[in-house]
Structure 1
Amino acid sequence: MTWPNQRPTTGPRESGPHDSPRPPLTPRSGPAGAPGWAIRGTGSHLPRRRVRSEEVSRSLGLDPGWIERRTGIRERRVAADTEASSDLAAHAARRAMADAGIRPDDVGLIVLGTSTPDELGPSTACRVQALLGARHAAAFDVAAACTGFVYGLQSAVGWLATQRGAPPHALVIGVEVYSKFLDPGDRGTAALFGDGAAAAVVGPVPSPYGIGPITLGSDGTRAGDVLIPAGGGRRPASAQTLAERGHTIHMDGRAVRDFIAATFPRLVAEAVDGAGIKPADLALVVPHQPNPALVASLAPDAGLEPAQLAIAGHDVGNIGAASLPYALDTALRARPSAPGDLVLLAGFGAGLTWGHTIVTWPPS
């Protein structure tokens, strides 16, 4: 099932469809009654400009329906010339804070995942902190590509668990403006990528609800599968790198497809085995979705029913670190999770990187 794209910009989320909370199934770390951390609000933001796949197909000399047939992507959003990652991220963060019912002064940490920062330094998270007026927040970026949101959750949970005296909420944001880093003539990337941002507020919740153990991994031997090869210290910007389009995304499409096909079912298996549950016990599975059609087709291999998957990439394409939190926000707007629901977040991307966690959804 594809979750409909219903995203109010402000206001609290309605209560779930169940009459009473379901006892959590996921084992929680720590003693009974110990406080934990949960996602307390979500929000997302897309640029105004829509570019339909028919238009991209024609520009690549392809049949108008080629992209949608192969990927399921109908359109994507494209940032304006004056919009950078921090602008999109700040909009998404404001919506997540409104959903959680908190103010900028309640935020102690901003951790932002992106592969398309405003500049090489400072961190884009610091730009977002200034835009939000979150004066008490520490801020930094994580560079884990499309797994950036899951890596950011780990950073947020670790920080919240050890801080004393800081505001007890963290903003975890994923954002990309890939359109500024695309070769419009490369069908392998121009067909897939779009722009967007999504965010989540992480805050305290009583045990046994909250974010379960987070498992992260990487394989740096395959860093060349997807990358922007120029602009860093190894290949600084020059006339030659510009001529070679070294500042655009380069991707080995076949290698990436094989990685997705092998990794998503493995992450589901690892998560449910570690929690001592079955795939059918998951109320919602939110994967990164670089190719919505491909990821949806992997549900049987992962032991899942199509209705368990939150697929929202049809109307945005691959928005990188924002892909997973955008799908989560879209799914929750369409059908709020009930207390005790088990929600699996599964990310994977360039680096290569991957990560997963099961969230025992808290009461509102």
Structure 2
Amino acid sequence: METTNKKVNRYLSAAITFIGTILFFTINSWASECGTSTVCGRSCDYGDQSYDTVLIGEQCWFKENLNVGTMIGNLETSDNTAPTPNDPNTVSKWCYNNSSTFCDSEGGLYTWAESNGFADSCNTSSCDVPDTNQGICPAGWHVPSDTEFYALENPLTSSGQSCDATRLDWGCADAGTELKVGGSSGFDAVSTGNRGPADSQFDRREPSIHFWSSSPFSEGYTYGRILGLGYNTIGRWHSLNTYGFSVRCIANNTIYEEVDNETINNGATFSEDRRCLWKTPKETTWIKLNIDKKDNISGVNLTWVQYDANKINIKIDDGTGNFPFRISNTPNDGHEFLPNVSPWQEVMIKPINHCKEGKYSPPVSYSTYSNGW
């Protein structure tokens, strides 16, 4: 006859097994395979590794460097079966200093052709590259283009600082800081060094972090990005395709976390929308109004200076202290003609940086600030 203690133990064992099964399926449903349905902000699995994802602006990025493939020159194997670079039968990678420990913690180093899934000959000759090139990233993800890197760095650049999309130099001040570990973006770039093409030496582990793009510069060279440990800027350069650099994957389409509207309506408190990681724009630095006429319609021409917004909201008063007339989401190109607005009417400007709104400027009219505010 079964004793009471045995019954309790049997029930406890069954309960633990049941809970463990639930946890197993819950965890595995959360960290599913990286693909087209990966929700940004969640972890996903690719190969033998789990990757965190992070939403930066409207882009979804891997939060870690890619680490797929078989190690080249693996001194840790005795049979010397490690692949050569761009072995057509496998994805091949270098690990810094020929140690798999560095791949495990910081990702692999790949030639440009390898990272983009091309034959070795594409390192030294021209090859056609699709606008969205999967390369060695999982399905639904791809190697970022030069344009996508610019879309990442430009909004993180501090107000008043240059961030030229066509530069071949350092630029985009403070974006470099924001993309490194501890920065506000969550990109968390870590120093990985690189593998040189000529002397086959691993180098620059401490001073720099190199990322491939999918965008060729010329035959044998491709655009990339460099983050320097002592720099707050980002380098945009073209490098020999036979270098070994790091790779980050970016989603083809960003899948946002769904919010339970019923829970919100029941009074739950939520933190700031996780999809909005753009910087709040600073106050507009200069505003000027000039009396003007366009298409035989009198009005004022509004000009302004605002460095860190992509759109502007404008509101105009009616002479009673109210501002009922509005122009919303006009491009931040520095000028707007306001038809039928009189010199005495006051205008206020609010900068918008994608999903973040700044503050309205003080009210300005031509009559009170004819030389500009």
Normalized against structure 2, the TM-score is what?
A: 0.20
Q: Which is higher, the Rg of structure 1 or of structure 2?
A: 2
**Higher RCO, 1 vs 2 (CA within 8 Å, ≥6 residues apart):** 1
Normalized against structure 1, the TM-score is what?
A: 0.20
